[in-house]
Amino acid sequence: MFLGRIRRSASSPVELVALRDGGLVSLADLGTDDPVALLDSHGLERLTDEVAGRPVVLDEAAVLFEPPVATCTKICCLALNYAAHAEESGMEVPPEPVLFFKPPSSLTGHNRPVEAPARTRHLEHEVELAVVIGRRTRDLPEERWLEAVAGYTVINDMTARDLQLVNIARNVPWDQSKGFDTFAPAGPYLATVDEVPDPQALELVLEVDGEVRQRANTKQMVFGLPRLIADLSDGMTLMPGDLIATGTIAGIAPLQDGDTMRATVQGVGTLVNTVKFRSA
């Protein structure tokens, strides 16, 4: 099942929908716009039956997409989790997962613009598979990793590369270069676990105006999902709606004002966003 959060117009309330037969089924009467909470309260099987009995009432092209999670306390991002990306960045593959955070305020939805602040002139894309946490999780062993997962979505880890490299050279934190508003576009949907039987065998592709910039497979991760969830939950509570961005692949490159990015994760979805430079 693919669950999304949309508005029918800019002034409309957020509404929960499910994708079916190429259109959208409204779930607005179920009392929440939070897909993670709804999965928890109804269960996947019951919710699947609920969606099957409802008519398609909306067109994807006619709605405004919000991020696919209603509540998110943190976006946990993994750096250098693909060897080829570490190589192109001139860095070694880390012996342990390397974590940084994006604030929830950096989230934006499908078909929304990514707006680079005037302080940066060098913006880059980073397509990634994101794990959506479904339950309060702490100290979860690797073999039970799937207990934490509500589903998956696509995330584009936008980066002000000029600001990041300056801070790396100064040996100071570079989170700001990753955390501006709109720098975590995600969606369009939360794909439930039944839609993704093997998250470690998914093709990742990032296109800019039709040109393929990034292409690889999640099987090439340095640290897979069991290790990542066990590592992140070791002493830190993961909350429902939190996102784990599992790292990008080789092929990062600069963007220009007006470029349109298509970030695709096989079986999960295609996230489209256009770049706007405030300096332009």
The pLDDT tens digits of the residues spanning 235-245 come to 999 999 999 99
Contact (Cβ atoms closer than 8 angstroms) between residue 36 and residue 69: yes
The pLDDT tens digits for 149-202 are 999 999 999 999 999 999 999 999 989 999 999 999 999 999 999 999 999 999
Range of the domain at 21: 2-66
Same domain flag for 61 and 101: no
The pLDDT tens digits for 219-271 are 999 999 999 999 999 999 999 999 999 999 999 999 999 999 999 999 999 99
Same domain flag for 261 and 230: yes
- Domain C-terminal end among 66, 89, 107: 66
Q: Residue 75: which pLDDT band, with cuts at 50, 70 and 90?
A: very high
Rg (Cα) of the chain, in Å, rounded? 18
Same domain flag for 150 and 180: yes
- Domain C-terminal end among 34, 66, 98: 66
CB atoms within 10 A of CB 9: 8
Mean pLDDT over 97-120 rounds to: 97
Same domain flag for 140 and 60: no
Structure tokens at 22: 């190429």
Same domain flag for 158 and 36: no
Place of tokens 């929830």: 104
Same domain flag for 83 and 62: no
Q: Residue 280: which pLDDT band, with cuts at 50, 70 and 90?
A: low
Same domain flag for 80 and 38: no
Q: Residue 93: which pLDDT band, with cuts at 50, 70 and 90?
A: very high
Supply the CATH number for residue 244's domain. 3.90.850.10
Contact (Cβ atoms closer than 8 angstroms) between residue 273 and residue 108: yes
Same domain flag for 46 and 92: no
Q: What is the pLDDT of residue 255?
A: 98
Which of 43, 41, 99, 103 has the alpha carbon at shortest distance from 242? 103
Same domain flag for 85 and 194: yes
Place of tokens 């192109």: 88
- Domain C-terminal end among 66, 87, 118: 66
Helix ranges (H only) for 91-224 are 161-170
Contact (Cβ atoms closer than 8 angstroms) between residue 231 and residue 121: no
Same domain flag for 62 and 98: no
Same domain flag for 230 and 251: yes
| Rounded-to-integer distance, Cα 110 and Cα 185, Å | 7
| Rounded-to-integer distance, Cα 233 and Cα 80, Å | 19
What percentage of the chain has pLDDT greater than the value 70?
Answer: 99
Same domain flag for 47 and 121: no
Mean pLDDT over 30-47 rounds to: 96
Mean pLDDT over 19-28 rounds to: 96
Count of domains forming the chain:
2
Q: What is the pLDDT of residue 91?
A: 85
